Amino acid sequence: MASIFNIIFYLLVFLSVYVQVFFFVTFLENRKKIVTRNGEIKLANYPAVTIAVPCWNEEKTVEKTVHSILNLNYPKDKVKIFLIDDGSTDNTWNVINKFAGYPNIKVFHKKNGGKYTALNLGLQNMETDFFGGLDADSFVDREALIRIMSYFEKDERIMAVAPSIAVNNPKI
């Protein structure tokens, strides 16, 4: 009986390694076809976008995150920012309240329920056609939003875009 389980186990291990090697080889063969768009991008239309930033105990990073969103190369009147304090126990609420006076920023405070409940609060209050979520300890490249929105302009069938992510200060 044990030998049958061993055979099944080794077969599954082989198949999983085979699939990983297949994907790796496919990546190596096609890596030059991966497009990195560094040039300037202009959109025919700049739709309004809501960016929700759920925060839980992010007093040390959220201010830099908000400034990175405010510095986006995108019309300022088209970017709505929701800063959502998800029941933080540190000074996060006071930090995000500094931004309450900005015309394109709304600040929310809610009982802790998890990141998904904070994002759902943002979805319930949005008034734009497009929505994005950004962790409070993440920073966006100045051209990120315009690059993301260019995909929607190219093809109306596109429903979602996930950007590439680079770790800022990796801790090893």
Average pLDDT over residues 128-133: 96
Taking residues 117-137, report their average pLDDT.
96
Q: Is the pLDDT of residue 168 over 80?
A: no
Is residue 165 scored above 80 in pLDDT?
Answer: no
What integer pLDDT is reported at residue 41 of this predicted model? 85
The model's confidence at residue 99, banded by pLDDT at 50, 70 and 90, is very high
The whole-number pLDDT of residue 102 equals 96
Segment 6-28 mean pLDDT? 93
Q: Is residue 134 within 8 Å of 52, Cβ to Cβ?
A: yes
Residue 31 has pLDDT above 90, yes or no: no
Question: Does residue 103 have a pLDDT over 90?
Answer: yes
Helices (H), the chain: 2-30, 62-70, 92-97, 115-125, 144-154
In this prediction, residue 29 has a pLDDT band, given cuts at 50, 70 and 90, of confident
What is the spatial distance between Cα 135 and Cα 35, in angstroms, rounded to a whole number? 25
Highest mean pLDDT among 22-31, 54-63, 156-165: 54-63
C-beta separation of 85 from 109 below 8 A: yes
Query: Percentage of residues in the chain with pLDDT exceeding 70?
Result: 92
Average pLDDT over residues 21-39: 80
Q: How far is CA 61 from CA 55, 111, 137, 168, in A?
A: 10, 21, 5, 12
C-alpha pair distances (Å), 17 with each of 8, 11, 32, 131: 14, 10, 24, 38
